[in-house]
Amino acid sequence: MNHDFNQFKLQPFIIQAIEKMGFRQPTEIQQKMIPLILQGHSAIGQSQTGTGKTHAYLLPIVQSIDPEQKHVQAVITVPTRELADQIYQEILNLIQFDPANMITAKRFIGGTDKQRDVGRLKEQPHIIVGTPGRIHDLIREQALFVHKANMLVIDEADLMLDMGFLHDVDQVAARMPEDLQMLVFSATIPEKIKPFLKKYMENPKYEQVDPENIAAENIEHILVPLKSREKVDLITDMLQSYNPYLAIIFVNTKQMADIVADKLIERGLKVGRLHGDISPRERKRVMKQIRQLDFQYIVATDLAARGIDIQGVSHIINYELPKDLDFYIHRAGRTARAGNKGIAVTIYQPSDEDALAKLEKMGILFTHMDFERGNWVESTDRNRRKKRQKSVSEEELKAKQLIRKPKQVKPGYKKKMQKQKEQIIRREKKAKNRNK
């Protein structure tokens, strides 16, 4: 089988795994990053959720592992336990056809028995994936040895910064070789993270996939005005109309997540919840229930918009717009995965106008709809007044053509230009009347 991934000259067992996973051709970020990583460059890959960032680094890492060397060769740090679980599973998928069955990987996350983790490190694996705090703890316990590992991945780097994990990542990187190959993947590169990157990365390669290329692909973005309705009632009616395979309702705070989830449950909906106050054990149970389709609806904070791959999400509902508008794209990116179509609905009020205008500048194309008496109807475009073109007379057009802003402006030049314009308009009108 002629496979587009063959261009990277990956080992046959990796190509076999890629084919089993159903990948046909590299995504844009994979096309840009995989050759750089294989060549040994430190690199920064900036792209949004759903663009294939994970395999952009996993494929070259697995390719680069020397199974004869019985020490840690690559460390992958991620901000959430769920993302660590997902990446670990993807590593297992990639190495399952290794003919010698010699490449090893282990996952270490917070909220689990640390002594048990220490026991699992009697033999050092080739690849480590986990949360920075637990990896750092195991290094301090002298159970995990990374001094020979020459590859470090920081995935979802901006979320690492937001969650306060960069200190632990710094401590891990400090124990690794000086000629470290660092790979940073993130949706955004905040200014606050740049000093950390400069500390470990000298002239890194930088590749970016623009958000505009992916924000609206296969996703219908719908705006629904709240008007004077109760928001939970409106969302309940909308959800029952859509009858989604799986919908995520996004809110901004843990408290609001509980309030909305409780109200939807009162209305008879099968609802799960995901936010930062849920214990690791509870989160694991909820994720299992989601995979088993025990819930049709999930109320979540933005933690679930980053680093958690929930399969089969058909609808995204923004109960409220995120304060950081980049998270709108992360939220919407939870649907329309793997070539499927998805719907992202936002309930808005007049106070959201500035945020909506910024999203439109970012490339989001909204459809205006409303839900009235159990039916979806087209709604008036909120920008209709702005889009009305002011009629311009022939005389005004003539004046615009004749008057030019002077190269060197002096005080009062605007008034002078306006006076000239008015004179031309009067003159043109008189000439027009004479010719009638």
Are 58 and 99 part of one and the same domain?
A: yes
**Who's near 178: CB < 8 A, 6+ residues apart?**
none
Are 417 and 274 in the same domain? no
Residue at which a domain ends, from 178, 209, 240: 209
Residue 421 pLDDT: 76
Q: How many CB atoms lie within 10 A of CB 313?
A: 23
Q: Please tell me the predicted confidence (pLDDT) of residue 112.
A: 85
- 297: exposed, middle or buried (Cβ count in 10 Å: 0-12, 13-18, 19+): buried
| Element at 224 (helix H, strand E) | strand 219-225
Please report the pLDDT score of residue 320 as a whole number. 95
Q: Within a 10 A sphere around the Cβ of 358, how many other Cβ atoms?
A: 13
CATH code for the domain of 48: 3.40.50.300
Say yes or no: 168 and 219 in one domain. no
Q: Which of 209, 234, 260 finishes a domain?
A: 209
214/205 Cα distance (integer angstroms): 22
Same-domain pairing of 179 and 239: no
- The reply to whether 170 and 224 lie within a common domain is no
If asked whether residues 89 and 176 sit together in one domain, one would say yes
Cβ neighbourhood burial of 82 (10 Å; 0-12, 13-18, 19+) = buried
Q: How many domains does the chain have?
A: 3
| 124 and 224 inside one domain | no
Is 312 in contact with 245 (CB distance < 8 Å)? yes
Which of 209, 224, 253 is the endpoint of a domain? 209
Adjacent-strand bridge partners of 224: 347
Tokens, residue 233: 């009632």
Is the domain of 200 the same as that of 322?
A: no
What pLDDT, on a 0 to 100 scale, did the predictor assign at position 389?
47
Task: Provide the whole-model pTM.
Answer: 0.68
- Sequential pLDDT tens for the chain (436 residues): 445 899 999 999 999 999 999 888 999 999 999 999 999 999 999 987 677 899 999 999 999 999 999 999 999 999 988 889 989 999 999 999 999 899 999 999 988 899 999 999 999 999 999 999 999 999 999 999 999 999 999 999 988 887 889 999 999 999 999 999 999 998 888 888 989 899 889 889 999 987 554 454 689 999 999 999 999 999 999 999 999 999 999 999 999 999 999 999 999 999 999 887 777 778 778 888 988 889 999 999 987 666 567 888 999 999 999 988 878 888 888 888 766 789 999 999 999 999 999 999 888 899 999 999 889 999 877 766 454 444 556 767 766 667 766 766 666 667 777 777 778 777 877 777 776 5
Same domain, 254 and 340: yes
How far apart are the C-alpha atoms of 256 and 351, rounded to whole Å? 19
- Residue 345 β-bridge partners: 222, 317
CA-to-CA distance for 204 and 213, rounded, in angstroms? 24
Give me the pLDDT at residue 1, please.
Answer: 41
Question: Measured between alpha carbons, how far is 37 from 10 in angstroms, rounded to an integer?
Answer: 13
Which residues fall within 8 angstroms of residue 351, CB to CB, at 6 or more apart? none
| Domain shared by 127 and 260, yes or no | no
- What pLDDT, on a 0 to 100 scale, did the predictor assign at position 327? 83
Residues 134 and 56 in one domain: yes
**Domain range holding 74?**
4-209
Same domain, 240 and 374: yes
